[in-house]
Structure 1
Amino acid sequence: MNQDPFNYFKKFLFLILFIIAFTFIGQAVVVAVLLPIFDFDVNSIFSSITAQDNRTIMLIVQGISALFTFILGPIAYGFWYDKALLNTLRSTLVADKRQWVIAIFVIVAFLPLGSALLVWNQHIDFPSSLATLEASFKAKEIQLAQLTVFLVDFQSTGEFLLGLIVIAVFAGIGEELVFRGFLQRYLEGIFKNVHVGIWLTAIIFSAIHMQFYGFFVRMFLGVLLGYLFLWSGRSLYPSIIAHITNNALTVIGVYFNKEELLEEMANPFDAEAPEWYIVVISGIFAVALLMYYRKLYLDKRDNSLN
């Protein structure tokens, strides 16, 4: 991180331009893929997407959009303007796999704490002067909850596998490429502080989801993934694997326990937190795992200096 902070800011702007450009390319590909399905009627395509009444079509649209916006766009940007991350991805592929496994257990162990944080977030009360804003936030939350319920209400094994790829794999890979792979490094370079980079990235990561009643739990996840990235020696694989695990557990859980989980997801403000002792015990276990994960990194770094 020896570059001028302005150089990191320029890289950030170029990254945004590539993401926007590939977003438009992705939309064109969506139309091209769906044309044969809708008898080459463009109006029918947009009507179906707008109506949000076909789960498979929506998953295809989301999958292609995510592929181009968060994976191909950033990879193209890295190839042309920032090869450091792509070089790191190649060089760390054969690194110590213990951190990959620990990252999975860290995410799983933190789930009860994340659930408790989510319930707290969903019960934040606004002052009476902001009642209108609170009502709009809650309406948006319910709307997004209903959309999520529709997307994960899989009616076949094929839809489940497609949902797993789109919601877990594509999201995990793409969001980690953009946020931990590029943005976290750039913010660290701009502010000359790794912790500022991690926390600001986590805040932005949560904010783009545009859900106040899930903001703090997503920020917490972003911070956790940020430190998994940092303490891996800046290998992106542990945070990618952890992110995929986090999303996949929801998708798999819904598929095998649909009725109970879908009902809970449809009523986000009625959710109940896990018992406090479960949160405490799992939290202690998660922190211990995270410290061991960090120790592996520090030991490796110290050995490389000797």
Structure 2
Amino acid sequence: MINIPYKDLDNSSSELHPALQFLLILATLLVALLIGTAIGLGIITGLYGYSTFTAITESNLAVPHAIPALWILQLTSTTLPILAAALFFAYVVTPKPQQYIRSNFKFSWVLMLLVFAIMFISSPLIEFLSNINAKMVLPHFLQWMRESEDNAEKLTNAMLQMNTIWQMIFDLLFIGLFTAVVEEFLFRGCIQTIIEKWTKNVHVAIWVTAILFSAFHMEFFGFLPRMMLGVLFGYFVAWSGSIWTSVWGHFINNGTAVVITYLYQHKEISISPDDQHVFNSAGYIISFIIVLFLFWVYRDIALKKKPVQA
């Protein structure tokens, strides 16, 4: 049996059953998202008018103030609600928040270097899964998902339009760092812990959480690569006992996309961030072998320093 740092989680009788915890955090997230959307509607309507709100929800970016309104809606309807749901659950619902948020720094900092290497070396694997995903064909009655993803991509590209380096830094902090923090607190922090308590199996918890993480983004044609990223993030936390290892990995993934997009927009590089044919079969195989080796090294170092639970 693998000695996972947080395998012996406390299932105190004062806590709700993990199944109820799971339903509760989903309900909390839903309520937070609804409230956040209402707040975003109020702010955008007050600043720019209701027509601007309806325009961006219909992916119409031709109206004045569409981009700032889009940022407001992203912050209020998605990012902050995710953070609020995770913190509310960890600090209000549960008696031991550190079992869920795992914000300790009791791990070897060599792990951060390994995460850095793993994230970059796994790029060919992620591309391979993206190409598999792209070949999948949706049935006719689900074609609306393709249209929805195209609209979402249009909005994302608008948010990633960076004319100055300061805009790039803003996107790097918001899309790269802040998004990484809030999503990891919710998924690898709260949800992965709940499922691990429920199933008594950390591997099941990691994979189920990764599936939920990918499904949450509602992008069918990005499901497999995002799920695999969720698996990587899950094991980072499982073996280190700290959420910051997965936050770092998540930031590297998002931040790299921001920087590459900026460089491509300013013609500093020729490779498009949307190009999914950068590597070949040999690259996929070599990437897989090296990532497995680095994961073995990561696990070996991480499990030598088991963090003390708060």
Q: TM-score, normalised by structure 2?
A: 0.82
Q: From the superposition, tell whether residues 219 and 91 of structure 1 become closer, same or farther in structure 2 (CA, over 3 Å).
A: closer
Map 1:94-173 onto structure 2 (within 5 A).
Answer: 94-125=106-137, 130=139, 132-133=140-141, 135-173=143-181
Structure 1 residues not aligned, in runs of 5+: none
Structure 1 Cα separation of the partners of residues 42 and 94 of structure 2: 31
Shift of 1:146: 2.8
Residues 137-184 of structure 1 show CA distances to partners (whole Å, capped at 9, x for unaligned) of 443443333333222122334433332233222221111111110111
- CA drift at 1:69: 1.2
Aligned pairs, how many? 291
Matched, 1:190 2:198: yes
8 Å CA contact retained: 1:6, 1:190: no
Taking structure 1 as reference, are residues 141 and 27 closer, same or farther at Cα in structure 2, changes over 3 Å only? closer
Q: Does 1:244 align with 2:251?
A: yes
- Secondary structure class of the residue paired with 2:303: helix
The C-alpha deviation readout for 1:101-129, integer Å capped at 9, x for no partner, is 32122111111110111012101246xxx
Query: Partners in 2 of 1:114 and 1:79 — Cα distance?
Result: 35
RMSD: 2.9
Unaligned regions of 5+ residues in structure 2, if any? 1-8
Q: How much does 1:31 deviate?
A: 4.4
- Matched position secondary structure for 1:93: coil
Change (3 A) 1:35 1:210: closer
2:5 is aligned to none
What residue in structure 1 maps to residue 277 of structure 2? 272
Secondary structure class of the residue paired with 1:49:
helix
1:85–1:181 Cα contact (<8 Å) kept = no
Output the CA distance in 2 between the equivalents of 1:284 and 1:102. 15
How far does the alpha carbon of each residue in 1:263-288 deviate from its partner, in whole angstroms, 9 at most, with x for none? 663xxxx8425112222223322222
Answer yes or no: is 1:46 the counterpart of 2:46: no
State how far apart, in whole Å, the 2-side matches of 1:36 and 1:134 are.
36
CA distance in 2, matches of 1:125, 1:66: 29
Find the counterpart in structure 2 of residue 60 from structure 1. 72
Cα gap change, 1:213 to 1:261, in 2 (>3 Å)? farther
Tell whether the 8 Å contact from 1:180 to 1:229 is kept in structure 2 after alignment.
Answer: yes
Q: How far does residue 247 in structure 1 lie from its aligned partner after superposition?
A: 0.7
Question: Offset at 1:218?
Answer: 1.1
TM-score by length of 1: 0.83
Name which of 25, 28, 46 aligns with 1:18: 28
Contact 2:261–2:272 (CA under 8 A) maintained in structure 1? no
Higher helix share: 1
